[in-house]
Structure 1
Amino acid sequence: MSNTNNANNVTAGKPKIGGAVYRAPKGTTLPTDATSALAAEFKCLGYCSEDGLSNGNDRSNSNVSAWGGDVVLNMTNAGSDTFTLTLIETLNEEVLKTVYGSDNVTTALEGKDITVAVNGGSDEESVYVFELILKDGALKRIVVPCASVTALGEIKYIDTDAVGYNITLTAVNDSKGNSHYEYIHLKSE
């Protein structure tokens, strides 16, 4: 391991070809690496906008000061772990189920007719997987064991841009106290 700067460790994140965002019912067996095939329960949510995926973690801390003002204890407080993206395959049944809740979307005529019941929203919890390709073909998989859609941005219907659902997913800690896992597989040289 080098103790100097290394430009080879700088990367960008592109979506994996063929699908980068997947959703499965809560409780689905989770992948534990960056390369194994996803279980059949995972459904592709299709294309996302060019803004990509954002991961926010709003951890905060509080300090305990002693008499005289010296900081004697720094405590990290729990925060929320969120993922924000815009789903642009708005005719995809799985996207509609993600945004409005599985129970609020019905299909008929072999999937040709879709009905969406829009109401106060759904607190449906699901498993999410994000698949990325990094520099030099390295693979990164982000696994969120439990999250729900907690925000939906304004939906615009204009002729100069794709209709999209800008959603924020908020993760819930699993039994180990983790909100998500990241797996990276580096390609051999």
Structure 2
Amino acid sequence: MAVNADNVRVGLNGNVYVAPKGTAAPTDLTTAWGAAWKDLGYLNDDGVEMEYSTDVEDIMAWQSLSPVRRVLTSVDMTLAFTAIELRADAMTLYFPDSTITEVTAGTVYKLDIPSAPGSAEMAFGFEWVDDTIINRVIIPRGEVTDRESVNFQRGEPVGLGMTVSAYASSSPELATWLSNDPSWATA
């Protein structure tokens, strides 16, 4: 197959969404994200990092110096990003089981961070565009499993760095990636 520079993509812009686990996600590229899907707002300029990895176990035999078989033992998929808009949805995602309450009408709010948070499984959506190419990745069941330090310094936005791990759900897919990218068309 010949190389084609028209098939090179850039993540020019995008959004990360979060919703309660079990929330229906768009099944196409034109349907708007439903009201239950909350946009986490601005992300730092590193964008979103998606990682997919597999682990295999080598089966060795006494009679061979090379593996006689390899068995897939795990699959892992993560999304990592840093939210720089300190919206309630981003704050309570970073601090699971936390609550924000109004202390003084419209002027003072309080974030209570629990000492022993429970599991915080959610549905996640990631949409990115490159000119007319639209991509949506939907993780029906996932959880923030890693959090970066929150830094407060002059000249830098306060960011909530998070890594979301995808979990297997009742369907056979770990995630779904939708795209209108013509380079995906098979010949």
Q: CA deviation at 1:121?
A: 4.4
Do 1:171 and 1:179's aligned partners in 2 also have CA atoms closer than 8 Å? yes
Amino acid at match of 1:22: Y
Aligned to 2:10: 12
Q: Which amino acid aligns with 1:73?
A: R
Shift, 1:44, TM fit: 1.0
Q: Identify the match of residue 47 of structure 1 among 37, 42, 46.
A: 42
Whether the 8 Å CA contact 1:123–1:149 is kept in 2: the answer is: no
Pairwise CA RMSD: 1.9
**2:111 is the counterpart of 1:116:** yes
Summarize deviations over 1:112-168 as a string: whole Å, max 9, x none: 43221223445211111111002x420000101111111111111111200001111
Question: What's the counterpart of residue 185 of structure 2?
Answer: none
Residue identity in the other structure for 1:104 = S
Say which SS state the counterpart of residue 75 (structure 2) adopts.
Answer: coil
Matched, 1:21 2:16: yes
TM-score by length of 2: 0.86
Distance 1:149 1:124 in 2: 8
The answer as to whether partners of 1:105 and 1:114 remain within 8 angstroms in 2 is no
Q: 1:122 to 1:169 in 2, by over 3 A?
A: farther
* 1:107 Cα deviation after fit: 2.7
Distance 2:39 2:106 in 1: 16
**Preserved contact between residue 26 and residue 127 of structure 1 (Cα < 8 Å):** yes
Deviations 1:94-119 (A, max 9, x none): 11121113x41223256543221223
Following superposition, the deviation at residue 74 of structure 1 comes to 2.0
Match of 1:71 among 67, 71, 82: 67
Percent identical among aligned pairs is 26
Secondary structure of 2:24's counterpart equals: coil
Whether contact under 8 Å (1:105, 1:116) holds in the other structure is yes
Paired with 2:22 and 2:54, the residues of 1 have a C-alpha distance of 26
Of 98, 113, 117, 1:104 maps to 98
Name the counterpart of 2:140: 145
CA contact 1:26–1:125 (8 Å) conserved in 2:
yes
TM-score by length of 1: 0.86
3-state secondary structure, aligned to 2:92: helix
Residues 128 and 160 of structure 1: is their aligned pair in 2 closer, same or farther, counting only changes over 3 Å?
Answer: same
**Any gaps of 5 or more consecutive residues in structure 1?**
none
Further displaced range: 73-82 or 161-170: 73-82
CA deviations over 1:18-58 (Å, ceiling 9, x no partner)? xx111111111122222211111011110000111111223
Q: Would the alpha carbon gap of residues 174 and 72 (structure 1) be closer, same or farther in structure 2, given more than 3 Å must change? A: same
Give the counterpart letter for 1:14 in structure 2. Answer: L
Q: Count matched residues.
A: 179
Q: In structure 1, how many angstroms separate the alpha carbons of the residues matched to 2:171 and 2:105?
A: 42
Question: 1:159 maps to which residue?
Answer: 154
